[in-house]
């Protein structure tokens, strides 16, 4: 990997980004492509749901419950904790049906407004959290951590199977879950300040 040039550099950016591999790999790649012709052009869903996707789906389902608990415990959230299971189910269904299109638009397209609002909410998070009771802060942080972990897992799974439509959808949902938590904290924090 050492360069024979003897060039002297004053910045990492001057290092060459390209390196020539020791041999042409195309023949090996082509052979592997030819060995799996059926994979080309098939949709991700048609390939079936991989095992790891089921695990992630379970994780995201748990995550949704975690987020609901987080919302329910926020002061003045308008959510009654007794009977929360029923409401959570109803809300999950509403969210799934109503927000799906918006979620897809938000993450599948470079939606500047989504990005701006998310950044704003994230910037304000620390201030808003400071206005909430300690136990609520912990719940919110736990929810956000769970979302982050879920997103990391989904992204890792997407790395292994970048064309998997289910994983893409789950990633979109994870971003939306995060937005819901951030927006709820923003509202609750603002009410606490008043």
Binding interface with other proteins (CB under 8 A): 1-23, 25-26, 28-30, 32-33, 36, 39-41, 44, 107-112, 114-115, 119, 148, 152, 155-156, 158-163, 165, 168, 171-172
Give 74 or 147: the residue with its C-beta nearer to other proteins. 147
Nearer to other proteins by C-beta: 103 or 132?
Answer: 103
Instruction: Give the nearest distance from C-beta 90 to other proteins in angstroms.
Output: 28
User: Which of 83/110 has CB closer to other proteins?
Assistant: 110
Closer of 22 and 83 to other proteins (Cβ) = 22
Contacts for 117 with CB less than 8 Å, ≥ 6 apart: 179
Question: Minimum CB separation from other proteins for residue 3, in Å?
Answer: 4
For residue 35, the minimal CB distance to other proteins (Å) is 10
Contact predicate 189/132, CB 8 Å: yes
Half-sphere exposure of 123 (CA within 13 A, CB side): 6
Minimal distance, residue 162 CB to other proteins, in Å: 4
Measured distance CA(104)–CA(20) in Å, rounded: 39
Whether residue 72 contacts residue 81, with contact meaning beta carbons closer than 8 Å, is answered with yes
Q: What's the min distance (Å) between Cβ of 120 and other proteins?
A: 12
d(CA 71, CA 182): 10
Q: Would you say 5 or 86 has its CB closer to other proteins?
A: 5
Query: How far is C-alpha 29 from the geometric centre of its chain's CA atoms?
Result: 31
**Cα 142 versus chain centre, distance:** 15
């Amino acid at each position: 990997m050492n360069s024979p040039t003897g060039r002297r550099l004053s910045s990492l950016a001057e290092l060459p980004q390209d390196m020539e591999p020791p041999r042409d790999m195309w023949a090996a790649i082509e052979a592997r492509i030819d060995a799996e012709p059926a994979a080309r052009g098939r949709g991700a869903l048609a390939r079936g749901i991989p095992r790891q996707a089921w695990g992630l789906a379970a994780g995201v389902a748990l995550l949704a419950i975690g987020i609901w608990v987080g919302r329910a415990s926020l002061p003045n959230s308008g959510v009654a904790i007794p009977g929360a299971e029923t409401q959570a189910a109803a809300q999950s269904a509403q969210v799934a049906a109503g927000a799906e299109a918006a979620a897809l638009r938000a993450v599948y397209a470079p939606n500047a407004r989504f990005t701006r609002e998310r950044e704003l909410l994230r910037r304000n998070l620390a201030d808003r959290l400071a206005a909430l009771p300690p136990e609520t802060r912990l719940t919110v942080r736990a929810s956000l951590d769970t979302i982050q972990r879920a997103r990391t897992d989904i992204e890792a799974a997407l790395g292994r199977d970048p064309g998997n439509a289910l994983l893409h959808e789950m990633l979109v949902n994870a971003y939306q879950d995060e937005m819901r938590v951030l927006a709820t904290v923003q509202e609750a924090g603002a009410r606490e300040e008043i």
